[in-house]
Chains A and B, each alone.
Chain A
Amino acid sequence: RKEVEQDPGPFNVPEGATVAFNCTYSNSASQSFFWYRQDCRKEPKLLMSVYSSGNEDGRFTAQLNRASQYISLLIRDSKLSDSATYLCVVTSSNSGYALNFGKGTSLLVTP
């Protein structure tokens, strides 16, 4: 079983829609959680960290459920520029805090 699992999508949504991605992780000792965004043929870029109490950054809301070992990302009022692959990322001490990446969820926002 992979350590971080995501629905690969693709999620095709119209502009202005709200879309939610989930991600599950298997290591209960995982320490830190992030969402990264990766555009086609580009490097991953940090979108936001995920805190235990949940956090919001503009149109983006991230939540963590440690009991169920899942992380979510909610995007409100989708823009065309939100089209990308969203990577769920988890760190744990037994990998030197290197990032464990999910395969990513592909989002396509259409006009």
Chain B
Amino acid sequence: EADIYQTPRYLVIGTGKKITLECSQTMGHDKMYWYQQDPGMELHLIHYSYGVNSTEKGDLSSESTVSRIRTEHFPLTLESARPSHTSQYLCASSRRGRQGNQPQHFGDGTRLSIL
């Protein structure tokens, strides 16, 4: 089993609150990713990182921000949550590999509901 952890698993919170979703991995992976997935829909990449101090925006525009101060930690922050942010957020990591052919390992996800 991959060692990648997300907290909290579930979060129900009111509009306007600042939220940080935590993601940590103990595999020493350089690359980390955040995906957003609505029920029954496909995953969308919202952020990724090649390594410490590297962050990039993904294919889906998101109002969230990320940081990568340590290799093992890739938190995602919403400064002011809105109901449209309600979704499942999945964190993943992978080793750096030649031609990017390293598969990603996913955390259990955070189910976020904004009231």
Contact = CB atoms under 8 A, between A and B. Distances in A.
Interface of A: 31-32, 34, 41-46, 49, 87, 91, 93, 95-104
Contact of B104 (A31, A99, A102, A104): A99
Contact of A43 (B33, B100, B103, B108): B108
Contacts of B41: 103
Interface of B: 31, 33, 35, 39, 41-43, 45, 48, 50, 56, 58-59, 90, 92, 99-109
25 contacts: A31-B100, A31-B101, A32-B101, A34-B103, A42-B108, A43-B90, A43-B106, A43-B109, A45-B106, A46-B103, A46-B104, A87-B43, A93-B99, A93-B100, A95-B59, A96-B50, A96-B56, A97-B99, A97-B102, A98-B33, A98-B58, A99-B92, A99-B104, A100-B59, A101-B42
Given A43-B107, A101-B42, A103-B42, A96 B99 contact: no
